Structure 1
Amino acid sequence: MDDLEPGLRYVIEPEERPARLGVIPLSTEYRDGIPVELVQYGHAQGLPRRRAGVSYVVSLALALALAPRRSDLLVPYRDVRNASGTVIGCRQLAQPV
């Protein structure tokens, strides 16, 4: 069954430009002749400042990177998938700690 309507409780519309986890390339090293880029993650791009009483639904990667500093970031939890296995919703939201 691919129809969410029977159990749908709330729709959160996506932002036109969602927040992303920024990447800073540091250097390249070679392992067995394969280039491996050393990168630093953890700099959010496009994430609004904290606002009292407001939470933001973001990607798991972004929430995990910022969990020590941002308690207002939530992620989809307990995925709902259609018959093809595509995620079409979630049963809950979670706050990574």
Structure 2
Amino acid sequence: MILNLTPHPIRIYQADRPDGLDDLEPGLRMVIEPEPKPARLGVVPHSSEYRDGIPVEVVQYGHAIGLPRRREGASYIVSLPVALALAPRRADLLVPYREVRNSCGTVIGCRQLAQPV
């Protein structure tokens, strides 16, 4: 079972779907709808400082919010930042891979999913 923990539908296209088409249907294999609560990276602020007069907050990323515990047989589609932050500890996280773009260059889907390591 693959669950989508991003805030938008994930469209999976055939490998030969060309980029540059605005029609969402050609080559569409499936759409994985998002779950109600997306997974996000939590931020832990550590300190504030100024650099060249600009306020800079020193923060720590890497604590996931809204990510369920590992479950046998379940994989979760998450954003790339979430997957990269947790890849060493979570083999159940997937990200969109080999993106499909419309005529404006906007990502509208992907051809595959990937598991970051």
**TM-score when scaled to structure 2?**
0.79
How far 1:4 sits from its partner (Å)?
A: 2.8
Q: Read off the aligned partner of 1:46 and give its amino acid letter.
A: G
The number of residue pairs the alignment matches comes to 97
1:66 to 80, 86, 102: 86
1:32 to 18, 27, 52: 52
How far 1:61 sits from its partner (Å)?
A: 0.2
After superposing on structure 2, the runs of 4+ consecutive aligned residues of structure 1 that deviate more than 6 Å are: none
Question: After the TM superposition, which of the residue ranges 68-77 and 6-15 deviates more from structure 2?
Answer: 6-15
Structure 2 partner of 1:83? 103
Mapped to 2, the partners of 1:12 and 1:42 lie a distance apart of: 25
Mapped to 1, the partners of 2:79 and 2:34 lie a distance apart of: 12
Q: How big is the alpha-carbon RMSD for the aligned residues of Structure 1 and Structure 2?
A: 0.9
What residue ranges of structure 1 are gaps of 5+ in the alignment? none
**TM-score when scaled to structure 1?**
0.95
How far 1:2 sits from its partner (Å)?
A: 1.4
Query: Bigger relative contact order, structure 1 or 2, given CA contacts below 8 A and separation 6+?
Result: 2
Report which of the two has the higher share of helix.
1
Structure 1 partner of 2:8? none
Structure 1 partner of 2:71? 51
Q: Read off the aligned partner of 1:72 and give its amino acid letter.
A: D
1:16 to 15, 20, 36: 36
Mapped to 2, the partners of 1:14 and 1:35 lie a distance apart of: 36
Secondary structure at 1:29 match in 2: strand
Mapped to 2, the partners of 1:47 and 1:25 lie a distance apart of: 20
C-alpha distance after superposition, 1:14-54 (max 9, x if no partner): 12220100001110011111111000001000001111111
Mapped to 2, the partners of 1:72 and 1:87 lie a distance apart of: 23
